[in-house]
Structure 1
Amino acid sequence: MKIILQSLASVVLGFVFFGLALFWPAATFQYWQAWVFIVVFMFATMGPSIYLAVEMPDALQRRIKAGPFAETRPLQKLIMTGTILAVAAVLVVSAFDHRFGWSNVPTPLVVIGNVLVFLGLTITQFVIIQNNYAGATVTVEADQQLVSTGLYGLVHHPMYAATLIMMFGTPLALDSYWGLLVVAPALLILAVRIQDEEKMLREELDGYVAYTEKVHYRLVPGVW
């Protein structure tokens, strides 16, 4: 019951966060792209969260435990703070773009943006099912086992790859091209997070060095 209540609380907080970050700078509730984005986001996360609450509560608990204060590594605390600010900036700039008409994204591209958001979130949930230890914080637990199959057979960090897909889809879904420019700093922050996380995994997770010799790419196959 506790984990379910925590999940519901996360949903409510997420709705409030999106509401403030989108409708306030847009200065209107008549922002259909934002409403569709929120519905897609909530739909893509609530169903899998219910499944995890029933079948894999430990994995869901690791996802709920998030944010700068949940991190144990000092650099990751800074990274998570920057990540939250970057996400908020993408949403706010996209909303301002919609408000002042700096750019105009055709409806088909808005739809594609929402598809990317849904796809990214869905892959994230699938990664959690594949790897029970894929938490929201950078840590290695005492009994943690290395996962090298499935999506982990393509890249070291499939969850971050899914986040990348969602990041590019978000501004388009919110009727903004300018929001895509704000994604760039978020990518740099993500790259720093990955570098620091890999340093820890090499030191603390058995078999990780050998795994990186077989799977060469961190985020995007054929690129990096």
Structure 2
Amino acid sequence: MHSSKQPWWRGHRGEWFVVLQAILFALILFGPRTAPGLPPWPETAAVVTSVVGALLIAAGLTMSVAAALHLGSNLTPLPHPREHATLVITGLYRGVRHPIYCGVILMAVGWALFIHGWLTLIYAAGLLLFFDIKSRREERWLIERFPHYIEYQQRVRKLIPFIY
């Protein structure tokens, strides 16, 4: 007998996004930092980029944790909102629609600067692109659940406060 149930990672709530996200996180943390032909990290900038990187990691971690705590029981790794979710547009969500993603992007860029990884910077840019795509799907589901989300979208930037 053949079951019509899909594997969990191909589920209808965006489970494959979580799998891809985990792969990107692993690449950022453990992937190759450089490649043949890429110039070495400038020695004169090493101390500055390490300090800036550490500050970005701390800021991103603080932002992500604060945003996750503010979501409370609405928090889910899946882009599909929970069954009894409420729309949160206060706190950090007043300045950016996806502050957890913003914080994670800050941490990824900070890590790349801290470890002086050219390829890691590219992976961080890939993470930004990934979160842009994931948030588009997430926002379609949020509009279905909360029609007034459209007004919030028009008023608040998506991933980077004041910019994008």
The TM-score, its normalising length taken from structure 2, stands at 0.77
Give matches, 1:4-43, under 5 Å: none
Aligned to 1:93, the other structure's residue is in SS state coil
2:140 to 199, 207, 210: 199
SS at match of 1:73: coil
**Matches of residues 127-206 of structure 1 in structure 2 within 5 Å?**
127-132=67-72, 133-205=74-146
- How many Å separate the matches in 2 of 1:223 and 1:122? 20
Larger relative contact order (Cα-Cα within 8 Å, sequence gap ≥ 6): 2
Q: Distance in 1 between matches of 2:112 and 2:104?
A: 13
Cα distance, 1:141–1:183 mapped onto 2, change above 3 Å: closer
SS in 2 for 1:86: helix
Q: Distance in 2 between matches of 1:153 and 1:70?
A: 32
> What is the CA–CA distance in structure 1 between the aligned matches of 2:28 and 2:21, rounded to whole Å?
11
Aligned to 1:77: 15
Secondary structure of the 1:146 match is coil
Structure with greater helix share of residues: 1
Q: With structure 1 as the length reference, what TM-score do the two structures score?
A: 0.58
Would the aligned equivalents of 1:103 and 1:178 in 2 still touch at CA under 8 Å? no
Paired residues in the alignment total 152
Question: Which ranges of structure 2 fall in alignment gaps of 5 or more residues?
Answer: 1-6
Query: How far 1:187 moved relative to its partner?
Result: 1.8
- 3-state SS of paired residue (1:106): helix
**Which residue number corresponds to residue 32 of structure 2?**
93
Gap regions ≥5 residues in structure 1: 1-67
- Mapped partners of 1:144, 1:83: distance in 2: 22
CA distance in 2, matches of 1:102, 1:141: 46
Q: Partners of 2:53 and 2:80 in 1: how far apart?
A: 32
Compared CA separation, residues 144 and 169, structure 1 to 2 (3 A): same
Shift in CA distance, 109/77, structure 1 to aligned 2, threshold 3 Å: same
- 1:71, distance to aligned residue in structure 2 (A): 7.9
- Check if 1:119 corresponds to 2:80: no
Matched residues, percent identical? 22
The structural deviation recorded for 1:188 is: 1.5
Please state if 1:211 is matched with 2:152: yes
CA distance in 2, matches of 1:212, 1:189: 19
**Alpha-carbon displacement from aligned partner over 1:75-134 (angstroms, at most 9, x marks no partner):** x3333333222222223222x57xx98435612321221221121111111112222113
Asked if the contact 2:70–2:91 (Cα under 8 Å) also holds between the matched residues in 1, the reply is: yes
Distance 1:123 1:150, change over 3 A: same
SS in 1 for 2:117: coil
Question: Does the Cα contact within 8 Å between 1:146 and 1:207 map onto a contact in 2?
Answer: no
Shift, 1:197, TM fit = 0.3
Q: After superposition, what is the alpha-carbon deviation per residue over 1:134-163, rounded to whole angstroms, capped at 9, x for unaligned?
A: 322223233322111111111211111111
